[in-house]
Structure 1
Amino acid sequence: MQPVPFSSTKTWNSCDALFSAGFKRVATTKRGFHPRRRESHKNNKAFFTMNYIFLLLAAVLLVGASASSIVATTGAKRVDDISCGECRDIISIVYGIDENKIAFNTTVEVLVDICKAKFANDTVRLDECVLLVDFAGLLVPLLFDGMNDLAWDIPLTFCADVVKVCKEPCCEAGAPPQEIFINFPDSTDLTQMRATWITLNETTGAAVQWWLEGSSNIVHVAKETPRTYTAGGWIGVIHSAKMTNLIPDSTYVYRVGGDVTGWSQNITFKTLPSVIGVPSRPLRVLQLADMGYAQFSNATTAMIAQYVEAGKVDVIIHNGDISYADADEQHWDLFFNKLQSSFSRVAYMTSPGNHELYWNFTAYRARLGMSMPATVPAAGSGAMYYTLQIGPVPFVFLDSESWIDTGNIDPMQLHWFRTYMNSLNRTATPVVTVAQHRPLYCCECGDILSAILREQSEQSIINNHVDLHLSGHQHNYQRLYPLINGTLVSTNYTNPNAPVYVVNGAAGNREGQMSFNKNAPYYGNGSRQYGFSYLVYSVDEAARTATVDFEFIESETGAVGDSFTLVKNY
């Protein structure tokens, strides 16, 4: 089994530059304040953390490396020799001191006195020691505030992520397969389905077994391909295996695991019919974004399960901010166990969001990216974008993210996008949907990051006649009227000749729902209720008319909070 490496496709240029940026930010930024939050995250300190937590963590590591010689001369225990339990005890003490501001200030003063006593005859070392203490005095409160906002188990996660002496196992030894989900592994061949699951240890003989419902005497078997990653101290094995040669419009039963780990319960799913996305059998899509592992997503989790159980969903699209793990790896495990009853029965297709950025998206790549369809044509190592076509309905999943929590769709991805769009027969595929995490437009995201995305990709969206653009990132629902380059084109959705932008990051997470400006000229409707999108696609070749019936479903009640129909005559 090969571990998934830390990807080099979005690399850090220089630790020195990182340290300088982090130090400058800490030195010039008031505690808990980030200017960009005024525009789009007014009540959300976690967003400050998402932009700068890596800078702060890098600064901690550099401070620790610089201070190691001082620690060594005192005979104190070095970081390399600290156990997980000792580290957690130390961080718990420091956290307790940080919470008591009088004790914290006293501690800083004591550390300065120690510097003075230790280096009384060495002014250079004394200045370095005092500088480190002063820097820590600025850094520690920011760091703990950030970790609180990320909902970390602070002692455990800090000692796993930063000090790297603790581990975060996925599950208990001997536990059966967990976190099961299925997805389409190929962009066009829907007679395949990939099953992915997790166990604590690698095992021999692990596989997926499947059979037609009612025909358990004919069992098909596919061996799994294991992978793992170690970022954040995570321990576990990710297994994937493909079920192939599936008969359309048929119910299958499958289970995953093996004789060593045990088998999962039998799970059913239904393959798509060979003719779909037409008036006699429309394509039904459930779309969500910004969904966390904790209680804030409970209502959405339950409502998704109702839709899946009722057989109303053909595919689930989750375009970014998946679980809000934020470098606490066990949050990934909690999320996928929470959603397993739905994700194990309907194809679950994803694209990355900014909350997956840690270790350059290592966890996302290992858990999800390597299960999604390949980027065709190939676009370099580690590409996290792809296409999926179901009947006459194509979807383009774009990667709008960067490792420094800014929006970015680079030239390579845009070239790939344009190449794919040029390959489509738009008579056969009249309606194209793009799904990505960050919006190009929304009614409270007028910051430079959205402007950068528009500068990078909007003209390609327009020139290639994208019909529907689905995004998240904003924790609410917003339906916009068709627009081009910021200019309103129409106030209805019949043959708009412009992209229709819908923002829906309302699935529920710890950061809460966000307000938005209803006075934008292109604002159609919106909601701060928890919810998801439900889309029904139908292409009538005889009438040369394509429709997308769109509903915003409120998670608490199942009520339709908003709806519209996109009509395209072609």
Structure 2
Amino acid sequence: MVPVHAACALLSFVPLLVLGVPPIWTQPEQVHLSYPGVPGSMAVTWTTFNKTESKVEYGLLGGRLFEMSAKGGTTLFVDSGEEKRELYIHRVTLTGLKPAATYVYHCGSDEGWSDVFLFTALNDSTSFSPRFALYGDLGNENPQSLARLQKETQLGMYDVILHIGDFAYDMDEDNARIGDEFMRQIQSIAAYVPYMTCPGNHEATYNFSNYRNRFSMPGQTESLWYSWNLGSAHIISISTEVYFYLEFGLDLLFKQYEWLTKDLEEANKPENRAVRPWIITMGHRPMYCSDDDQDDCTKFDSYVRLGRNDTKPPAPGLEDLFYRYGVDLELWAHEHTYERLWPVYGDKVYNGSKDQPYVNPKAPVHIITGSAGCRERTDRFNPNPKDWSAFRSTDYGYTRMQLVNATHLYLEQVSDDQYGKVIDSIWVVKDKHGFSAWF
């Protein structure tokens, strides 16, 4: 029999013995989807904390479970915080999917599998009328709209989510653990529909490394800017942050502008614009806003809108470019409010008509939707907005959009403070698209 004092001595070593064995972290988590931009495909991204195989097993809903499988690759992401935490980011692209078919899937390896999820492959028809939820500035703390978005996504109300910058607040905090927690929080949305993103200012730490590593957008720019097609729209995602974080390279600003010009030229070729007449942009910091927080958009000479003259060479802004190529709708966030603008260009209103401002508007339509919920709360408005401000709300909430057809697009704002009430809605109607539509 072991003496009592000896048993106590042995027990005192138990925590050391437990702590001496590193935990095995092969369980997939933070599962999310994105659309690679190629019809019949879907990208699945997830995280583990030990290196494992990257595999997705899937099958048609109602068919044999997991009868198909696909393999992908793993990227080691070392966070730049003090602990230099290591995350393994797994990416697998599923191809040959049947348009509009629903698939059941799980991801991982024989060392651990995720929960079972399902998604509907995007319909690649140009007559498809996709439904979107869109918002920016959703945090890990006070994510007020999240529960409603989770439920509506799982009810099948959306085909795509657009997150227009600012995630988690902030993904790099606590050695990127806040990023992990946020990605777990949105899994109940992002594992079911493509979660399409653009970077915001809250992603800037360590040169946007958490953003660039965690998301898998189309193209070869580490998700900083890209474009893709869906239904009757060509959708462009940009980084407004290239105008503000020059320490990460002024060349990024000019590279994006050059890419954007070529992309808009291609989208405006008559044969392309005939098929995808709507051009929609999404970027974090707006060109216009009427908040009272002294942000870039509260100043007439906004960098995003007019460029920068303090760089060599001077950096071009985006308003003239978007106007020249007939961009129809510009989606923004950053301001923790919702604001709908009248059609605007050069700080002037160009409504279609007095009675029907959004029917054949003579300038792009801007929507700011940054009130999904974060620890910084909502912003306040300037009591004397300019003429282009049409509707404003400080309620927490998010925006819904449906691309109905080649001529009709519907937008509405949901107030989470008012239990999901629709507090604003418009139809944008365009018989003609492109630069000539302005005249």
Q: TM-score, normalised by structure 2?
A: 0.82
For the pair 1:266 / 2:116, whether they are aligned, the reply is: yes
Return closer, same or farther for 1:236/1:290 CA change in 2, 3 Å cut-off.
Answer: same
For the pair 1:196 / 2:42, whether they are aligned, the reply is: no
Q: Which of 416, 419, 427 is the aligned partner of 2:274? A: 427
| Contact kept in structure 1, 2:342 and 2:388, CA below 8 Å | yes
Q: Distance in 1 between matches of 2:246 and 2:350?
A: 29
Return closer, same or farther for 1:447/1:479 CA change in 2, 3 Å cut-off.
Answer: closer
Gaps of 5+ in 2: 1-21, 307-316, 433-439
- Report how many residues are paired: 379
Q: Which of 226, 232, 241 is the aligned partner of 1:392? A: 232
Deviation at 1:325, TM superposition (A): 1.5
Match of 1:338?
A: 185
1:467-515 deviation digits (Å, cap 9, x = unpaired)? 1000101000000101111011126111112011111110111111001
Match of 1:566?
A: 428
Return closer, same or farther for 1:308/1:275 CA change in 2, 3 Å cut-off.
Answer: same
Return closer, same or farther for 1:218/1:427 CA change in 2, 3 Å cut-off.
Answer: same
Match of 2:138?
A: 291
Deviation at 1:219, TM superposition (A): 1.8
Return closer, same or farther for 1:565/1:450 CA change in 2, 3 Å cut-off.
Answer: farther
Return closer, same or farther for 1:326/1:198 CA change in 2, 3 Å cut-off.
Answer: closer
Match of 1:452?
A: 303
* Secondary structure, aligned partner of 2:359: coil
Q: Which amino acid is the alignment partner of residue 569 of structure 1?
A: D
| Contact kept in structure 2, 1:206 and 1:259, CA below 8 Å | no
1:515-551 deviation digits (Å, cap 9, x = unpaired)? 11253211110111111110011224xxxxx111100
Which structure carries more helix by proportion? 1
RMSD (CA atoms):
2.2
1:106-163 deviation digits (Å, cap 9, x = unpaired)? xxxxxxxxxxxxxxxxxxxxxxxxxxxxxxxxxxxxxxxxxxxxxxxxxxxxxxxxxx
Identical residues among aligned pairs (%):
29
Return closer, same or farther for 1:439/1:410 CA change in 2, 3 Å cut-off.
Answer: same
* Secondary structure, aligned partner of 1:227: strand
* Secondary structure, aligned partner of 2:363: coil
Q: Which of 327, 340, 346 is the aligned partner of 1:466? A: 327
Q: Which of 34, 58, 76 is the aligned partner of 1:183? A: 34
Q: Distance in 2 between matches of 1:448 and 1:405?
A: 18
Match of 1:485?
A: 346
* Secondary structure, aligned partner of 2:318: helix
For the pair 1:554 / 2:415, whether they are aligned, the reply is: yes
Match of 2:387?
A: 521
Deviation at 1:221, TM superposition (A): 1.6
Match of 2:257?
A: 414
Deviation at 1:324, TM superposition (A): 1.3
1:166-192 deviation digits (Å, cap 9, x = unpaired)? xxxxx963462110001112x2x2311
For the pair 1:223 / 2:68, whether they are aligned, the reply is: no
Deviation at 1:330, TM superposition (A): 0.7
Return closer, same or farther for 1:218/1:531 CA change in 2, 3 Å cut-off.
Answer: closer
Which structure carries more strand by proportion? 2
* Secondary structure, aligned partner of 2:93: strand
Deviation at 1:228, TM superposition (A): 2.2
Q: Distance in 2 between matches of 1:382 and 1:345?
A: 22
Q: Distance in 1 between matches of 2:154 and 2:172?
A: 32
Match of 1:442?
A: 289
Gaps of 5+ in 1: 1-170, 376-380, 541-545
